[in-house]
Structure 1
Amino acid sequence: MEETVDLRDYFGIVKKRFWIIALITIISVVVSGVISFFMLSPVYEAKSTLIVNTEKNEETQMITGDQFSVTQKLAVTYGEIIKSRTVLDEVIQNLKLDDKYEGLVNNVTVSPVKDTQIISISVQDTNKEKARDIANEIPKVFKKEAERITKANDIQVIDKAILPQSPIGPNKKMNMALAAVIGGMIGLFVVFFIEYLDNKLKTPQDIEKHLGLPILGVIPNEKLER
């Protein structure tokens, strides 16, 4: 006998043990909230920007297209120099930080601004003053190293990093919303897994469905008064 799948069966399974899904979802959201609000430290981000200039054409006193293209490629190269061990180790030494290179490099993001000669340096840290100081110290060290390595002749700071006022993370609402989704999915898995393990025949329809036997009669489950 071919077995058909009815969506109402699935809705029935969910409805019967919906309290399990709700409980797991609530626990997930509460745990996420406790971690986000009381255990995770706020993360601050400080930014500074640099501009990589190039020599102008001596005849026209203007930057040619080729020179501009080369400068943009240099901006990518400079980004790798900024995150190099030589630069960041000196930053650590100058600011007397307890960080190691492997830890600091993960907190530094260097992004060449598209179609410009500008480089953006972002530093994230749980200490806002520390993030600002690192974002301002990196350009100083980098400029010296760029002149030594690539013979760069004109690198200027556009904006110095200022003290960030508001943290960028953790995103508490997003964490709790994500926890609710994951909790609901885990709850559904648990409910269907319990249903899969439950192989009892509870209704006459279960006998017909799973054993393929016709129902001849049903004995009512009633308490007879004597």
Structure 2
Amino acid sequence: MELREYLQIIRKRLWVVILITLLSTTTSAVISFFVLKPIYQSNTTLYVFKKIDTQGGIAYNDLLVGNQLVKDYRELVKSRLVSSTVIQELGLKDMTTSQMAAKLGVSLKNDTRLIEITAQDTDPEMAKEIANKVAEVFKKKVVELMDVENVQIIDKAEVPLTPVKPKKELNVAIAAFVGLMTGLGIIFLIEYLDNTIKTPEDVQKHLGLPVIGTIPVFPE
């Protein structure tokens, strides 16, 4: 099939592509702008000093916050021990420990010696409160449980001004692209399944027979 034939197929059922693209884009816009609640994220940064045993007189090594330690800290931050303490101290009676853990994240900050604790919530003030409280509780528990000598909070969480999700414009753009591709797929599928003969060219193409003549259709 040549490019011209593809273009003819698209032109013949262009309304299908336009309709599906508009429906997909409109639905995504309505959901993104009017249904989904904005999620705000606040973060706090900590510096962790882990104690190690050496014979060379070096008592501490502040460069041991590697990938494995970050995994350990992530599990501690999301543990029921930390979550329940944060819930209790913030007075969040309607929140479960699993719901609290789902709001939290831990990562190594820009490949440095610092770890970053993030908290997400629909209320920007609450996101800040949760992040700061988690940092306080983590600071106590990690010293008790993981042979860490000291933890310093470098940056406290602040009230975020803009939400991190949903990414409204991106959602609409993706929906428009998906709608366009879906519309094109549908019209080509319809064309593939349509085996009716409509033109003299179809006779030659599908039946391999020469066209002797055609009967014109006269308007009534």
Residue aligned with 1:46, SS: strand
1:218 aligns with 2:214: yes
1:100 aligns with 2:96: yes
**Matches of 1:63 and 1:194, distance apart in 2:** 74
Select the residue among 75, 78, 99 that pairs with 1:80. 75
Select the residue among 5, 21, 26 that pairs with 1:30. 26
- Deviations for 1:85-126, whole angstroms, at most 9, x for unmatched residues? 211121112212222222222221100225432110111111
Where does 1:11-22 land on structure 2 (aligned, <5 Å)?
Answer: 11-22=7-18
C-alpha contact 1:47 1:161 (8 A) present in aligned 2: yes
Select the residue among 75, 86, 91 that pairs with 1:91. 86
Residue 147 of structure 1: aligned partner:
143
Residue 46 of structure 2: aligned partner:
50
**Matches of 1:175 and 1:115, distance apart in 2:** 30
- Segment drifting more, 106-115 vs 48-57: 48-57
Identity percentage of aligned residues: 42
How many residues matched? 218
- Deviations for 1:17-57, whole angstroms, at most 9, x for unmatched residues? 01110111011111111111110111101010110125699
Amino acid of the structure 2 residue aligned with 1:166:
T
Residue 182 of structure 1: aligned partner:
178
- Segment drifting more, 74-83 vs 15-24: 74-83
Distance 1:37 1:185, change over 3 A: same
Distance 1:6 1:135, change over 3 A: same
**Matches of 1:55 and 1:127, distance apart in 2:** 38
Distance 1:175 1:115, change over 3 A: closer
Distance 1:218 1:71, change over 3 A: closer
- Deviations for 1:105-156, whole angstroms, at most 9, x for unmatched residues? 2221100225432110111111111111110000111122112212422101
Amino acid of the structure 2 residue aligned with 1:146:
V
Residue 121 of structure 1: aligned partner:
117
C-alpha contact 1:52 1:75 (8 A) present in aligned 2: no
Residue 70 of structure 1: aligned partner:
64
Residue aligned with 2:149, SS: coil
Q: Provide structure 1 residue ranges, at least 5 long, that are not aligned to the other structure.
A: none
Distance 1:32 1:42, change over 3 A: same
Amino acid of the structure 1 residue aligned with 2:126:
K
Could you tell me the TM-score, scaled by structure 2's length?
Answer: 0.89
Q: Runs (4+) of structure 1 moved beyond 3 Å?
A: 54-57, 60-64, 68-76
Shift of 1:79: 3.0
Q: Provide structure 2 residue ranges, at least 5 long, that are not aligned to the other structure.
A: none
Amino acid of the structure 1 residue aligned with 2:120:
Q
Could you tell me the TM-score, scaled by structure 1's length?
Answer: 0.86
Which one has the largest radius of gyration?
A: 1
C-alpha contact 2:48 2:62 (8 A) present in aligned 1: no
**Matches of 1:56 and 1:110, distance apart in 2:** 23
Select the residue among 9, 32, 36 that pairs with 2:5. 9
C-alpha contact 1:123 1:131 (8 A) present in aligned 2: yes
